């Protein structure tokens, strides 16, 4: 939704902005905000949104996650993240939980460089917790981050060890996992190489978010046909789609008024 901006669409509050609300109201406000986002996406035929961010920032980490995080407490992040998922699903839009298994400790911006996290497995358990709590969601996005305690050589997106032991194992996520954007500088090699390696690692789908047709063609050509277990996960995700549930947009806007910037006519 961040790519759809005023003056046509609303400027929605960041995840962190909801922390200004009294704690008992936060989850409901997050749900309402996501429900309103879903209504605008559905109007233009979009049925997937890369929300919510479940990363838990830690002191000293790079601020790339910044205000996209729902705070620094894993349990609260999980609660608010689930509220966002529920709002999107109620509006007929599939949520994508990200960046699995956690970007909050990264010391670099993965858009620009490859972050390497040296935390212990015990410490990483806190990062994994929100994803484990939302393991029932249909879609997830991988992190271009190296976790040296698990695989010192490969970022999660390209690591069979992280995918099998952590994402599918410890976290227990059996939904469809897509990569983060392959044009990010965290990953080296050609687009063909990066695409082949992510599928070899066990991911289900490659994500390319730029506008270079030659790069996009490499990703498309290196992507296998969606079949087998990958096809089953995709079908299960699509089965979660349904017609938007009724809601009162005016009431929702009124509840969110202190946090919303209205579109410009």
Residues with catalytic annotation?
111, 180
CA 229-158-127 angle, to 5 degrees, is 90
pTM, two decimal places: 0.93
pLDDT at 206: 98
DSSP state of 172: -
Reply yes or no on whether the pLDDT at 37 is more than 80. yes
The whole-number average pLDDT for the span 25-36 is: 96
Q: Any idea where the domains of the chain sit in the sequence?
A: 27-241
The whole-number average pLDDT for the span 221-227 is: 97
The arrangement of secondary structure in 27-241, i.e. its CATH architecture, is: Alpha-Beta Barrel (3.20)
pLDDT at 226: 95
pLDDT at 179: 98
Q: Binning pLDDT at 50, 70 and 90, where does residue 264 land? A: very low
Residue 51 · residue 96 · CB < 8 Å? yes
Reply yes or no on whether the pLDDT at 2 is more than 80. no
Per residue in 157-212, pLDDT (tens digit) is 999 999 999 999 999 999 999 999 999 999 999 999 999 999 999 999 999 999 89
d(CA 245, CA 91): 6
Residue 189 · residue 179 · CB < 8 Å? no
The whole-number average pLDDT for the span 90-101 is: 98
Edge-first strand listing for the sheet containing 48-49: 48-49, 94-100, 139-142, 176-181, 205-207
Percent residues over pLDDT 90 in the chain:
87
pLDDT at 256: 87
Residue 179, phi then psi, degrees to nearest 5: -75, 160
Instruction: Output the 3-class SS for 99-124.
Output: EECCCCCCCCCCCCCCCEECCCHHHH
């Amino acid at each position: 939704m961040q790519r759809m901006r005023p003056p046509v669409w609303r400027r929605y509050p960041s995840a962190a902005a909801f922390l200004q609300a009294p704690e008992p109201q936060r989850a409901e406000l997050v749900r309402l905000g996501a429900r309103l986002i879903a209504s605008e996406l559905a109007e233009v035929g979009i049925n997937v949104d890369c929300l919510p961010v479940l990363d838990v920032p830690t002191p000293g980490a790079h601020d790339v996650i910044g205000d996209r995080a729902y705070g620094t407490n894993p349990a609260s992040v999980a609660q608010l993240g689930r509220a966002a998922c529920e709002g999107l699903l109620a509006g007929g839009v599939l949520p994508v939980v990200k960046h699995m298994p956690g970007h909050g400790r990264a010391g670099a911006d993965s858009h620009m460089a490859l972050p390497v996290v040296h935390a212990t497995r015990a410490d990483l358990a806190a990062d994994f917790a929100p994803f484990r709590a939302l393991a029932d969601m249909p879609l997830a996005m991988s992190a271009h981050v190296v976790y040296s305690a698990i695989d010192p050589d490969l970022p999660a997106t390209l690591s069979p060890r992280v995918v099998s032991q952590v994402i599918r194992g410890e976290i227990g996520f059996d939904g469809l996992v897509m990569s983060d954007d392959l044009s990010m500088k965290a990953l080296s090699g050609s687009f063909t190489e990066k695409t082949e390696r992510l599928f070899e690692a066990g991911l289900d789908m490659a994500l390319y978010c730029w506008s270079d047709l030659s790069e996009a063609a490499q990703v498309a050509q290196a992507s296998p046909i969606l079949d087998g277990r990958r096809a089953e996960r995709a079908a299960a995700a699509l089965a979660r789609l349904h017609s938007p549930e009724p809601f009162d947009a005016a009431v929702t806007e009124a509840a969110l008024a202190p946090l919303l910037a209205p579109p410009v006519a």
